[in-house]
Chain A
Amino acid sequence: DSGVTQTPKHLITATGQRVTLRCSPRSGDLSVYWYQQSLDQGLQFLIQYYNGEERAKGNILERFSAQQFPDLHSELNLSSLELGDSALYFCASSGGGEPYEQYFGPGTRLTVT
């Protein structure tokens, strides 16, 4: 158990809908990262937050947004969903600063029908 929690575990929704994925980092970790993993793309970095502020951005679509709250939990919002958004979404956390290892949560499997 990495100490990172993600909810929900599974999510099935229709095209055009909006969903919110939630992540709680390990106790004491200030950085939260979001990744998307699909069969044909591998693990893709989406966005990083550090202590409530956006720190780095990857190939995150404009339809996707994220935020980190004062209690350090984070949410990833996906809107106007398309079939191609079906994937595993992982959250990871680390201590920030030096190149610390990242601890990944169990993921949320999103299926868009």
Chain B
Amino acid sequence: SQKIEQNSEALNIQEGKTATLTCNYTNYSPAYLQWYRQDPGRGPVFLLLIRENEKEKRKERLKVTFDTTLKQSLFHITASQPADSATYLCAYPLEPGGYNKLIFGAGTRLAVHP
């Protein structure tokens, strides 16, 4: 069965530094990966989608990479701010062709300290 792993330990960084979060997956290579942000008690908010033929995607201070050889996606937040503190989830299709039937990682909690 599909597995998706994110660093379960919280990531603590200083304001202004770059945060890097990791998402590793097993078995088949998904056609795309998505990243979401979730604040406590609230629904996840979509951030970025990267397809298997894209090495890198950027949106403002966010950058996502997708390495199908390593079966890994990296999520970067540059010039981090305390407001970036949240849990970040990665997700991908549960099965080939199951475009929107997603499996989510457990998430990595990011804390940005002033």
- Pair from one complex: yes
Interface, chain A (partner B; CB < 8 A): 2, 4, 31, 33, 35, 42-45, 48, 55-56, 58, 88, 90, 92, 94, 96-107, 109
Chain B contacts for A35, CB-based, 8 A:
104
Say whether B43 contacts A101, CB under 8 Å.
Answer: no
Q: Is there a chain A Cβ closer than 8 Å to B10's Cβ? A: no
Say whether B43 contacts A42, CB under 8 Å.
Answer: no
Say whether A56 contacts B34, CB under 8 Å.
Answer: no
Say whether B31 contacts A58, CB under 8 Å.
Answer: no
CA distance A4 to B43 in the complex (A): 10
Say whether A96 contacts B100, CB under 8 Å.
Answer: yes
Chain B contacts for A106, CB-based, 8 A:
42-43
CA distance A103 to B94 in the complex (A): 18
CA distance A31 to B100 in the complex (A): 9
Chain B contacts for A42, CB-based, 8 A:
104-107
- B60-104: contact bitstring with A at CB < 8 Å (1 yes, 0 no)? 000000000000000000000000000001000110001111111
